[in-house]
Amino acid sequence: MILVFLGPPGAGKGTQAKKLAEDKGFVHISTGDILRDAVRKGTPLGKKAKEYMERGELVPDDLMVALIEEVFPEGRGVVIDGFPRTVPQAEALDRMLSKRGIRVDRAVLFDISDEEVITRLTGRRSCPNCGAVYHMKFNPPRRDEVCNRCGTKLLQREDDREEVVRRRLKVYREQTAPLVDYYRSKGILITLDASRPIEEVYQDLKRLVDEKGN
């Protein structure tokens, strides 16, 4: 089964994809994680991608398509999180899968308001030393802006700053939202209310996937 997760940044796609992949034995392809890893390592792709990510813009199609082709597994269920982000990318993904004799089975839209996204993302903080992640509203550290585990000063990611988040949302609405119509026209779109607690969203997601698998 091939699943594509759609929705704005901060909708919880990555969290749900990880849970589903662990539960079902699927491969989780997160382009966000792959890109951030490339940025940290300073690879040629990472250097190119960093410029776009820090401006809250989409990484160009040619870079993303090449990346997905490189990591896509054979013969296993896949959850794709963060790709495609444009209709041309969706068409490229369809062509790539068609060559392998498979297709996207379900596109899952994680629906959430812009204001909820801004609250979720701008409150995130991470520890540059041990990697712990916090949220200043939902999961705050015991001491303001200091890691509970190692006492290191917490940092806010560049792409979690409010002005960047608002740009990312604008880009999403303009360039990524048309994917909803693309997958709806294929009859494979599912919409979930992503503003609810994680476990509630996950139970609905798992039920829908189980129904498709039967």
- Check if the beta carbon of residue 31 is closer than 8 Å to that of residue 64: yes
Whether residue 214 is predicted with pLDDT greater than 70 in this model: the reply is no
Mean pLDDT calculated for residue range 102-109: 95
**198 domain-assigned:** yes
- pLDDT, position 212: 67
> pTM score > 0.75 for this model?
yes
Q: What span, in angstroms and rounded, lies between the C-alpha atoms of 51 and 62?
A: 15
**127 domain-assigned:** no
**105 domain-assigned:** yes
Whether residue 118 is predicted with pLDDT greater than 70 in this model: the reply is yes
Whether residue 120 is predicted with pLDDT greater than 80 in this model: the reply is yes
**130 domain-assigned:** no
Q: What angle do CA 36, 40, 41 make, to 5 degrees?
A: 115
Mean pLDDT calculated for residue range 112-138: 94
Lowest mean pLDDT among 10-24, 32-46, 109-123, 155-169: 32-46
Q: Hey, is 212 helix, strand or coil?
A: helix
Beta pairing, strands 78-81 & 27-30: parallel
Whether residue 207 is predicted with pLDDT greater than 60 in this model: the reply is yes
**79 domain-assigned:** yes
**156 domain-assigned:** no
- Check if the beta carbon of residue 145 is closer than 8 Å to that of residue 154: yes
Residue 63 Ramachandran class (φ > 0 left, ψ -120 to 50 alpha, else beta): alpha
CATH code for the domain of 204? 3.40.50.300
- Catalytic residue annotation: 13, 85, 124, 157, 168
Q: What span, in angstroms and rounded, lies between the C-alpha atoms of 46 and 68?
A: 14
**pLDDT tens digits, residue range 17-72?**
999 999 999 999 988 787 887 788 888 878 888 888 788 887 888 788 777 777 78
Confidence of residue 101 (pLDDT cuts 50, 70, 90): very high
**142 domain-assigned:** no
From the list 107, 109, 86, 112, the residue with the least C-alpha distance to 165 is: 112
- pLDDT, position 213: 58
Which position has the token pair 């809250």? 56
Q: What angle do CA 24, 25, 27 make, to 5 degrees?
A: 115
Structural domains counted in the chain: 1
**96 domain-assigned:** yes
Give the rounded percent of residues in the chain with a pLDDT score beyond 70: 99
From the list 174, 41, 60, the residue with the least C-alpha distance to 49 is: 60
Range of the domain at 191: 2-117+163-209
